[in-house]
Amino acid sequence: MTDTPDRIYSTPHGNVADFVFNEDVVRVFPDMIKRSVPGYPTIVENIGVLAARFAQPHTHLYDLGSSLGAVTQALRRHVKTEGCRVVAVDNSTAMVDRCREYLHAQDAMYQELLPVEVVEADILGLVLQPASLIALNFTLQFIAPDRRQGLLESLHRALLPGGALILSEKLRFHDLEEHVLLNDLHLDFKRANGYSELEIAQKRSALENVMRPDSLEDHRERLLAAGFSKVVPWFQCLNFASLIALP
Ligand SMILES: Nc1ncnc2c1ncn2[C@@H]1O[C@H](C[S@+](CC[C@H]([NH3+])C(=O)[O-])CC(=O)[O-])[C@@H](O)[C@H]1O
Ligand SMILES: O=C(O)C(=O)Cc1ccccc1
């Protein structure tokens, strides 16, 4: 199956609107995220591998800001723990509808997958069941900065001892030289994946008010303040990283 190519920003938009996860984005999302996020396929697959170590019998595994359910599918492929249940949550109707279709297709392809539920909801208002794994794969960066601490506190309360939060994010860097170098290399990554200067510039402008990355130090401090005992970076490619936070 070949992904529909992302051409959303290939023609001049005049006034570039704020980025939203609507039907147009859903249509091209698998192609867009692979060509925009260095290391994305590696991160998604390995969240499944990591999860298998933390999953505990008869608990929930959450994929928060699930988009089309890539992490949910990886969890269902890798985790065999008895009585686990995967819950994918996203507040975009277009994403949730397509995610449900993809998961039905996965059910038709594999036997003995963990049961899954796709919930259309804002993760800020979610009541979580006792969880052994929670994934926030490139979701926290889209949450209003003043809501991030409270969200992580509620995730910490839901996590069982021995469980883990996996947090993947685009990073900014306090050191200006490091920030500029890794951002320039990220733009080179996009050019190498066929994005034009116009596409890059318009997407950047669309994301400006919507996606606000933090530094690794900010993430570590906030996670520790939310009650997590240990923060372990397990992956970084350019300015994109993934962390394991232990309750
Ligand atoms: N408050 C919110 N509540 C619920 N969902 C939200 C909220 N805010 C944003 N979202 C959802 O978070 C997702 C972020 S994309 C995640 C990729 C996926 N994890 C992947 O591994 O493919 C990241 C990206 O596109 O860079 C979108 O689907 C939003 O609708
Ligand atoms: O495109 C970018 O520059 C990004 O930082 C990541 C991204 C990927 C897909 C949707 C929104 C943001």
pLDDT tens profile 37-78? 999 999 999 999 999 999 999 999 999 999 999 999 999 999
Question: What does the pLDDT read at residue 79?
Answer: 98
Which two structure tokens, joined as six digits, stand for 228? Answer: 């997590």
Q: Predicted confidence band at 2 (pLDDT cuts at 50, 70, 90)?
A: confident
Ligand 2 center–CA 5 separation, angstroms: 15
CA distance 244 to 247: 10
Is the Cβ atom of 159 under 6 angstroms away from ligand 2? Answer: no
In the reported structure, the alpha carbon of residue 112 is separated from the centroid of ligand 2 by a whole-number distance in angstroms of: 34
Using most ligand atoms within 8 A of CB, pick from 67, 122, 152, 167 the residue to mutate for ligand 1.
67
- pTM of this structure: 0.98
Q: For the residues 141-157, what does the mean pLDDT come to? A: 98
129 C-alpha to ligand 1 centroid (Å):
20
- Please identify, by atom number, the ligand 2 atom nearest to the C-alpha of residue 204: 3
Residues with CB under 6 A from ligand 1: 21, 33, 44, 65-67, 70-71, 89-92, 95, 122-124, 137-139, 142-143
Task: Verify whether ligand 2 is closer than 6 Å to residue 35 (CB atom).
Answer: no
Classify residue 171 by its DSSP letter: B
How large is the average pLDDT for residues 80-100? 98
> Token pair 């685009």 is at which residue?
170
Q: What is the ipTM of this complex?
A: 0.98
Residue 202 pLDDT exceeds 70? yes
Domain made up of 40-172+210-246: CATH architecture: 3-Layer(aba) Sandwich (3.40)
Kind and range of the H or E run holding 15? none
- Going by alpha carbons, the residue nearest to atom 9 of ligand 2 is 33
Residue 1, pLDDT > 70, answer no
Residue 203's pLDDT band (cuts 50, 70, 90): very high
Average pLDDT, the chain: 98
Token look-up 């949450």 returns 143
Binding site membership of 222 for ligand 2 (Cβ less than 6 Å): no
Candidates 227, 103, 239; CA nearest to 169 is 239
Distance 141 CA to ligand 1 centre (A): 9
pLDDT digits (tens, 9 = 90+) for 92-112: 999 999 999 999 999 999 999
- The closest-lying atom of ligand 2 relative to the alpha carbon of residue 213 is 5
DSSP-derived letter for residue 17 is P
Q: Looking at residues 158-182, what average pLDDT do you find? A: 98
- CA–CA separation, 164 vs 155, rounded Å? 10
